[in-house]
Amino acid sequence: MAERPAELVRDLIGGDERVFEPAVEAEGKATEGGDGSNYNYNENLPLIEAIERGARGAYWDILRQLRKGQ
């Protein structure tokens, strides 16, 4: 598990929707999730587009709403 910390964190979270799961690891680095999730605020296209469409508030909350399809 030490070489795959994101996997350990995902196991500890246990699917709790209140927590953003870390991205899947590949070659020892975290990568974008298989579902396209990306919680990095830098150059996050879905986040940028949501803000351009008028979304306001904390970035994590905008990402949460996008994840739920709201």
Domain coordinates of the chain in residue numbers?
1-37, 40-70
pLDDT tens track for 11-53 = 999 988 888 888 776 554 545 544 456 667 778 888 999 999 9
Global pTM?
A: 0.55
DSSP structure string for 25-44: EETTEE---TT------TT-
- Between CA 9 and CA 26 the distance in angstroms is 15
Query: What's the pLDDT at 7?
Result: 87
Contact indicator for 39, 21 with CB cutoff of 8 Å = no
What contacts 14, CB < 8 A, 6 or more positions away? none
